[in-house]
Amino acid sequence: MAPETKNRTLQILNAAAAGKYGVLAAIAYNIEQLTALIRAAEAKRSPLIIQLFPSTLKQLPTLAHAAAAAVKTASVPLSLHIDHAQNVEHIREIITMLPVDSVMVDMSHYDEKENLEKTKILAKECHDKGIAVEAESGRIEGGEDGIAHTGDLEALFTSAQDVDNFISANVDILAPSIGNIHGDYGPAGPKTGQLDFHRLTAINQQINHRVQIALHGTNDFPPDLMKKCIEHGAIKLNVNKLLLEVWNEYLRKHAANTPLVKLIDGGMDILQKETERWMDICGSSGKA
């Protein structure tokens, strides 16, 4: 990962690592959410990574093109990332057909050896197209939309050895398993001690600036916990429900008695404000 990379996702993450702040990598499920996220980035002069799930690429095939158009025209650094791509053939289709900057090649539902082998092959194919690669080392428990649930598979925490294995598979971004889960922790967020900060520190030291750290499983995070993760080396902050819950709440409350266009405006306003709030918390505001 050379500092002079032309890859947008890595440019954003390298700048954040150097500046010691975190960058939201925010899931969008539709054009309104995408628009609200980008408005927040421009209003706050903040970098932003836009994330789409592979299932969304199938549900709304034009959304990736809309996101890519925004990445090109926005006045702040944006990039388009595909989160949790778990199907090898779909990954090949994505990197061949779509204007994406980075992909999470998620082979964590395989055992460690097969995860590494498949990741290495796909990382090469992505890099040949100028696309950066994120991988999950160990296994983060739980499931998200369209993503294979880890089910009965136990979470596997990331070790220092895993770090070197994944770096040798040529990934650019590593998503460690440190007690974080995909899904809800409960309204108060993770229990005290659930996230292993000693492990995160050890992982960060082992990485030694060779790749960037992505933090998954941020539902219900209080601001202080997010800041603590950033202080311990997390740079790419994957967020989904953490931002989008205000949108969901707004729709639940107003959908029955608000005209559609007004409903869209109201939802975008509320999501923009929430995204701006988290950009402030993560320290990315004013960095673009």
Specify binding-site residues for Zn(2+): 84, 106, 136, 182, 216
Torsion of CA 226, 228, 230, 233, to 10 degrees: -140
User: What is the tally of helices (H) and strands (E) in the chain?
Assistant: 11, 10
Please state the closest distance from residue 23 (CB atom) to Zn ion, in A: 15
Please state the closest distance from residue 265 (CB atom) to Zn ion, in A: 30
Q: Which two tokens stand for residue 46?
A: 């903040």
- Residue numbering of the annotated binding site: 84, 106, 136, 182, 216
Q: Which residue's C-beta sits nearest to Zn ion?
A: 216
- DSSP state at residue 256: G
CA 163 distance to own-chain centroid: 19
Please state the closest distance from residue 238 (CB atom) to Zn ion, in A: 5
| Nearer of residues 53 and 250 to Zn ion, judged by Cβ | 53
| Nearer of residues 139 and 287 to Zn ion, judged by Cβ | 139
Sign of CA dihedral 278, 132, 97, 68: positive
**CA dist., res. 266 & res. 254, Å (int):** 9
Q: Please say if 83 is a catalytic residue.
A: yes
| Nearer of residues 71 and 173 to Zn ion, judged by Cβ | 173
- Provide the binding-site residues for Zn ion, judged by CB under 5 A: 216
**CA dist., res. 198 & res. 23, Å (int):** 22
Which among 6, 28, 1 is positioned nearest to 17, based on CA atoms?
1
Q: Residue 240 burial (CB < 10 Å; 0-12/13-18/19+)?
A: buried
Which among 71, 75, 74 is positioned nearest to 50, based on CA atoms?
71
Please state the closest distance from residue 82 (CB atom) to Zn ion, in A: 12
| Nearer of residues 199 and 216 to Zn ion, judged by Cβ | 216
| Nearer of residues 77 and 142 to Zn ion, judged by Cβ | 142
Q: Residue 20 burial (CB < 10 Å; 0-12/13-18/19+)?
A: exposed
The strand ranges marked E within the chain are: 23-27, 48-52, 78-85, 102-105, 132-136, 141-142, 173-175, 181-182, 212-215, 234-239
Please state the closest distance from residue 180 (CB atom) to Zn ion, in A: 9
Residues labelled as active-site residues: 83
